[in-house]
Amino acid sequence: MRFNTPRCRCAWAASLLLFGVLVLLPFIAQPFYTAFVARIIIYAIAATGLNLALGYGGMISFGHALFFGIGAYSVALPAFYGIDNGWVHVLSCVAACALLGLVMGAICLRTTGVAFIMITLAFAQMGYFVLVSLKQYGGDDGTSIADTSKFFALDLGRPDTVYTCSLIVLALATYWMARLRVSPFGMVLRAARMNARRVDAMGLPAKQYLLAAYILSAILCGLAGLLLANLNAFASPSTLSWNVSGDLIAMVMLGGAGSVFGAVLGAFAFLGLEEVLKLFTEHWMAVFGPALVLMALLGKAGIAGVFAAVDAWLSRHRRPADPMVSTATGEQS
């Protein structure tokens, strides 16, 4: 796979620099900043999962907060009964998200457009109200997690440990997305986003490819929720609210839907800008909203589109002069 093409060279350089800074951060920053950046990394994982459905498959899902919350409660519910085995948490998370993704995808893919958006939102809201009704697990107040996920000697209850694990998962997910984008599966998926009927006419079942992408996207969002629950040692139904789904969509669109690094860059820009504005004013939302609108208007392809434009500009200016033109110029002079 060619990673050094002019279209992606700048984005790869910026992303590798970002990952390098993230690797060094726990050694040079205070614990507060380590925990804060760990939260951004976890949301970047969830946004990467949504990017598979939204950016690659064109499925505008307002229900991915459901999988995010299911991942969190895959830790909270076993921990409520004293089960701290991380492998049990991961297995229950993957199984629940895959099953729900299969059911939701099979139903939602019967529709398109606004109907698809509303049905995914309805599923997420149903999950939200189900968890609110479970008073034995805290109901609307959520539940604390006394027994975080443990993998042999590795305890995700420690901020530095969950930071390292989250960064590894994000790096693997990003590399996987890069490979998937140019794989036959990814090409069929992107073709189905543009014209599913033509994909069907070629003998490839577009809906089956979209359903598989939706399930994989759900699992990745669920794993992000599992990591967030360990980071906070807390799980709440608010994780399943439509606001979380909206934030994830905003991160994907801000970074550049369908690009390899778009979700990662969008998550860091979205949550980073939010935190910076909170330092200056308590009315940060009044500034944050118009700032997002302005960024969307200036670059419809997101941050990844800005990098692509810079790559194109650098390529034009690095292009050697035409020798025929140079010779002709020399003869005239």
Residue 5 binned pLDDT confidence (cut-offs 50, 70, 90) = very low
Amino acid residing at 199: V
Q: What pLDDT, in 10s, does the model give residues 307-325?
A: 777 777 777 776 554 455 4
| Cα(304)–Cα(295) distance, integer angstroms | 12
Rounded to two decimals, the pTM is 0.89
Per-residue pLDDT reduced to its tens digit, 279-312: 888 888 888 888 777 776 766 677 887 777 777 7
Cα–Cα distance between 277 and 96 in angstroms, integer?
37
Residue type, 185: F
Q: Report how far residue 142's alpha carbon sits from residue 139's, in angstroms, rounded to the nearest whole number.
A: 6
Bridge partner residues of 234 (DSSP): 144
- 150 in helix, strand or coil? strand
- Indicate the average pLDDT of the chain: 87
In the chain, domain spans? 9-313
pLDDT > 90: percent of the chain: 58
Measured from the Cβ of residue 237, the count of other Cβ atoms closer than 10 Å reads 24
Q: What is the pLDDT of residues 157-178, one digit of tens each?
A: 888 999 999 999 999 999 999 9
**Domain covering 9-313 assigned CATH 1.10.3470 in the classification:** yes
Question: In the numeric block, which tokens belong to residue 145?
Answer: 């997690």
